[in-house]
Amino acid sequence: MPPTTKFYLLFLCINYMTYDKISWVKYMNLLDKYLVKCEICPNKCGINRFETMGVCKAGTLLKIALASLHHWEEPCISGEAGSGTVFFSHCNLQCVFCQNYKISQGDLGREIRIEELAEEYLALQNKGALNINLVSATHYIPQVAASLKIALEKGLTIPIVYNTNGYETIEGLSLLKGLIDVYLPDLKYYDDKYAIDYSRAKDYFNFATQAILEMYRQVGAPVYDEDGIIKRGLMIRHLLLPGLQEDSKNVLKWIRDNLPIEIPISLMAQYTPVYKAINMENINRRITEEEYDNVIDYFFEIGLEHGLAQDYSSATTYYTPEWE
């Protein structure tokens, strides 16, 4: 390891001693394990993030594109007050249709230290946020875990929502155990052909389903407050893509066969061709109402009970945030 890298590691460790109350030796080992040879997500790039970038294009410093009250999540998450949402820059997937492509695959955002991120959580809590909603934080799991510990020590009391594309590892999720109250994963694809073609994600279904089972082991079935806001538990999202009704049905069947009936499923109709999808023949259109209704009918046919449908008019870029 180059001397400059060692110096920076030591600087970070001393920095965390003040805020996280763990020994610098323990944190040195944590950084060495997860950032010097990064395998935190299924891409398993194995690169030294102090010196270069992997698939996600993230370094060691956190980068966020927005921290604000967000009102466009599912009603049980946003409620009326809003969800305290932190959008992280970069991503471990490369979805050709990503509505947030300017931050996930571009370079928009601002770098932020871990203790500063903890203060962002507390500021959102003070604004009345119902929860802290971490959007696409997979590639920053070690840093995010540290930021949550700092914030909890400083008085963060609202639930933490981990909002993810589902392309996770069990080892990565283990760092979040006890810190996350609500897991909100996507289950995007059943057939890996589509996962590779549209998100460049090898073995997506296997990784995502194993991750979802681990999430359920950590937080269980949903628990709601008297206003219907989720306080703890697992909730799964599935975005319907044009022409992939059978793939969506296989996703629903897996959920039915492997998880309790109480797990809610958010069936999303909001797909809008943007970014590279505009020029891809099979997915350069919205889904039809017939396609959406067909999958919803199947949802009930196979015995699923707890779901959320989305208004067909949601298929627009209107709800994409203005990034910082």
Range list of H helices, 160-203: 170-174, 192-199
Structural domain range at position 248: 60-319
CA 32/CA 16 separation, integer angstroms: 15
Q: Residue 322: its pLDDT value, please?
A: 72
Domain containing residue 135: CATH number: 3.20.20.70
What pLDDT shows up at residue 320? 66
* 208 falls within a domain: yes
Is position 97 within any domain? yes
Lowest mean pLDDT among 18-32, 198-212, 213-227, 262-276: 18-32
Residue 140 lies in a domain: yes
Query: Which amino acid is located at 7 in the chain?
Result: F
From the CB of residue 269, how many other CB atoms can be counted at a distance below 10 Å?
Answer: 22
pLDDT per residue as tens digits for the range 84-123: 999 999 999 999 999 999 999 998 999 999 999 999 999 9
Alpha helices in the chain (DSSP H): 3-20, 24-31, 75-78, 101-104, 114-126, 141-153, 170-174, 192-199, 204-219, 245-258, 289-301
pLDDT of the residue at 283 = 97
Model pTM above 0.85: yes
Query: What pLDDT score was predicted for residue 311?
Result: 83
Q: What is the pLDDT of residues 49-95, one digit of tens each?
A: 989 999 999 999 999 999 999 998 999 999 999 999 999 999 999 99
Say how far apart CA 85 and CA 68 lie, in whole Å.
Answer: 6
Residue 305 resides in a domain? yes
Please check whether residue 219 lies inside any domain of the structure: yes
Percent of the chain surpassing pLDDT 90: 83
Integer angstrom CA distances of residue 279 from 106, 113, 205, 276, 283:
18, 38, 25, 6, 8
Residue 1 lies in a domain: no
Whether residue 268 contacts residue 219, with contact meaning beta carbons closer than 8 Å, is answered with no
Q: How many domains does the chain have?
A: 1
160 belongs to a structural domain: yes
pLDDT value for 33: 74
Give every strand in the sheet of 265-268, ordered side by side. Answer: 236-239, 265-268, 307-309
Residue 74 lies in a domain: yes
pLDDT tens by residue, 1-29: 444 444 444 444 444 444 444 444 444 55
